[in-house]
A = this chain, B = another copy of it.
Amino acid sequence: MTDERRAAIMQAVYSALCTHGYADLTMQDIADESSLSKAALHYHYDTKRDLLLAFLEHLHGKFTDRLDDAEAAAGDDPAERLVAFLDAALLPPERDDADLREFRTAVLEIKAQAPYEPAFRTHLAEFDDFIHDRVAAIVADGIERGRFDDRADPQAVASFVVTVINGAHTRSVAVDHPVEETREVLVEYLCRHLAIDEEVVAR
């Protein structure tokens, strides 16, 4: 399969998830969002489950690239890298809000399926692990360079941040709580906990 075809199929899965949600999604719905027939989709992916697993993998690649880019663009300072990374994790990119809301809802449906689908769980854990490991590395770097309070435990901070990001997305879907508010409180917590000057990270 060419990269172009793969990209087109992944875009079709994204659109179909936004339109139909996860529970009712069919291969026909995904085909309808692409220029391929359902038979052509099945040629590449035996089942809807296989296609969704490929989609989660694709999504993980895009997610990690985007967060890496955001961190790199923030320069060398650990506090600025940390905040740029969190902003990218919490507040996704250029997409319009209606789509984003639908997509987050579909992701929450997929999270609720994880206990029945160990392969989903494995993919979901990769998102959590990526955020965890990167935050822990930035915090450890900040401590080593004397920029962050050395009483902080990078692993504990990182795990807490992953929980807060999960909570922000769940509340956004379940009760429409603004992710932006969580972002403010999370940054304030990190500033106080790591002894970062709040002016360094003001947007």
A173 in contact with B128 (CB, 8 Å): no
The residue in chain B whose Cβ has the minimal distance to the Cβ of A121 is B175
Contacting residues, chain B, for A166 (C-beta < 8 A): 166-167, 170-171, 174
A188 in contact with B112 (CB, 8 Å): no
Q: Most B CB atoms within 10 A — which of A101, A102, A171, A176?
A: A171
Contact with B along A89-129 (1 / 0, CB 8 A): 00000000000011001001101101110000100110010
A159 in contact with B175 (CB, 8 Å): no
Q: Is A42's CB within 8 Å of the partner chain B?
A: no
A177 in contact with B108 (CB, 8 Å): no
Within 8 A of B (CB), among A148-183: 156, 159-160, 162-171, 173-177, 181-182
B101 in contact with A105 (CB, 8 Å): no
A173 in contact with B112 (CB, 8 Å): yes
The residue in chain B whose Cβ has the minimal distance to the Cβ of A102 is B115
Q: Is A58's CB within 8 Å of the partner chain B?
A: no
B112 in contact with A108 (CB, 8 Å): yes
Report the interface size for chain A: residues with CB under 8 A from the other chain.
42
CA distance A182 to B159 in the complex (A): 8
Task: Determine how close the nearest CB of chain B comes to the CB of A109; give it in whole angstroms.
Answer: 4
Q: Is A6's CB within 8 Å of the partner chain B?
A: no
A167-B170, A168-B167, A182-B163 known; A175-B108 Cβ under 8 A: no
CA distance A167 to B185 in the complex (A): 15
Task: Determine how close the nearest CB of chain B comes to the CB of A54; give it in whole angstroms.
Answer: 19
Q: Most B CB atoms within 10 A — which of A105, A115, A169, A188?
A: A115
For the complex of A and B, 8 pairs with smallest distance between CB atoms: A167-B167, A111-B174, A163-B167, A166-B167, A108-B112, A109-B112, A125-B175, A166-B170
| A interface residue numbers (CB < 8 A to B) | 21, 23, 101-102, 105, 108-109, 111-112, 114-116, 121, 124-125, 128, 156, 159-160, 162-171, 173-177, 181-182, 185-186, 188-189, 192-193
